[in-house]
Structure 1
């Protein structure tokens, strides 16, 4: 699926419902992340980094649609260990290179750098709608939705520590906005069944171990105490 088609769908009332929730949770999360370089991969026409205060914010995409850097998400033209933050909005579910993309993100991130993944939850009413869609369906009812557990497992294997995840958008995928009143009930009673999710992971690097030389010398034996006679008849000990 073309990223541009997804962007177009996100401007529809139904897409805006999802995008507004994602932008809200991203704003809360990104406001507290600091560094120098932040990269948004995909959806270049939408500024998902708006709440972040890093001085260098770059949007990367494979198409020339407002992107600052033209590149495939699984082959980022960035130096290893040079980026403090990477945001992946709906990239993994619509790419055949999901594992490679995450490995590439791990490569470019500095130690303690953050990755934030947003996506559509297959364990939701929207996931059910996708299963009922015909081949060649329009956005966003195509691609491969990933569960939060999958994302957490993949990040864990790459050495990321999950900070938190969030779910939202519990209304069914209908155009009528009256069903959005279910958001409050869903967040309370079936929180993991939201249509959208966000996962925040931090790259952890194991500390170096100091290797000391192997000393083969024996322990110094305790020196024997030798009594020495004094002129006055007393004795004292010498080492």
Structure 2
């Protein structure tokens, strides 16, 4: 199944940036990290919201049976069911999705907290979300402050920190399983290539929280007196029977 977000999304420019030399370097590191985090994630449905072209190999290696893409623009030659959707109002049933991937989706969402509430709604208990974002506490974040007014990708987004996103997830009932940073090279073309790999080696050892990209994997916890048992023999419905239920939780500031 393939789905798409409504046209006009600001994430469309990010997909073009991923094809640049700097974007290609970032995409390679992110894809490898996502592939590792998905290696022990199981279930029926995996949904990716945002840019999709750079993560095809990572999703293809996933053990989750059905992979649903919601790219920032309509893919050419797509097959299967297409769903027009926006991250803040997903046309998916409550408690239906096993895993969700958000590659920089929060960086360009007008209301990131609403997107996270929708993610919490559609995930099953013990479902997982993987979030990638540009780290405001890094050289990448500094460049974003200087170039944001120019409106160019990827600097026009609202960068955050892993600690801020993790705090918002905790308020929604998520437990943080993994939190790490990658891409310690400065956002300069001359810092690309194998000769500059020393940046990544030293960064992971000396300043691990200053990587240009943060990666978080969190699991949805539900408090209950009766232990929940996964219905392995029964396939859950993906689409709601009627309109999507709006979330009623209070706003969580990101």
Partner of 1:50: 60
Aligned with residue 205 of structure 2, among 188, 192, 195: 188
Structure 1 segments unaligned to the other structure (5+ residues)? 210-239
Aligned with residue 127 of structure 1, among 133, 136, 141: 141
Task: Provide Cα deviations, 1:168-207, integer angstroms capped at 9, x if missing partner.
Answer: 1111111012444211000100011000111000000002
Partner of 1:229: none
1:122-201 matched pairs, under 5 angstroms: 122-176=136-190, 177=192, 178-201=195-218
Q: In terms of mean alpha carbon deviation, does 34-43 or 50-59 score higher?
A: 50-59
Give the TM-score, by structure 2 length. 0.78
Structure 2 segments unaligned to the other structure (5+ residues)? 1-8, 227-254
1:33 paired with 2:41, answer yes
Partner of 2:26: 18
Partner of 1:215: none
Partner of 1:225: none
CA distance in 2, matches of 1:65, 1:73: 17
Aligned with residue 108 of structure 2, among 91, 94, 100: 94
CA distance in 1, matches of 2:170, 2:147: 32
Secondary structure in 1 matching 2:222: coil
Partner of 1:103: 117
CA distance in 2, matches of 1:138, 1:173: 14
Root mean square deviation, CA, Å: 1.7
| Residues 51 and 72 in structure 2, CA contact (< 8 A), matched pair in contact too | no
Q: CA deviation at 1:129?
A: 0.8
Partner of 1:118: 132
Q: CA deviation at 1:39?
A: 0.2
CA distance in 2, matches of 1:37, 1:8: 27
1:9 paired with 2:17, answer yes
1:59 paired with 2:106, answer no
Partner of 2:224: 207
Residues paired across the two proteins, number: 210
Runs of 4+ deviating beyond 6 Å:
none
CA distance in 2, matches of 1:28, 1:143: 26
Q: CA deviation at 1:65?
A: 3.0
CA distance in 1, matches of 2:32, 2:51: 16
Note closer, same or farther for the CA distance 1:29–1:135 as it changes in structure 2 (3 Å cut): same
Give the TM-score, by structure 1 length. 0.83
Partner of 2:246: none
Secondary structure in 2 matching 1:133: helix
Which one has more relative contact order, counting CA pairs under 8 Å at least 6 apart?
2
Give the structure with the larger strand fraction.
Answer: 1
| Residues 162 and 214 in structure 2, CA contact (< 8 A), matched pair in contact too | yes
CA distance in 1, matches of 2:13, 2:188: 19
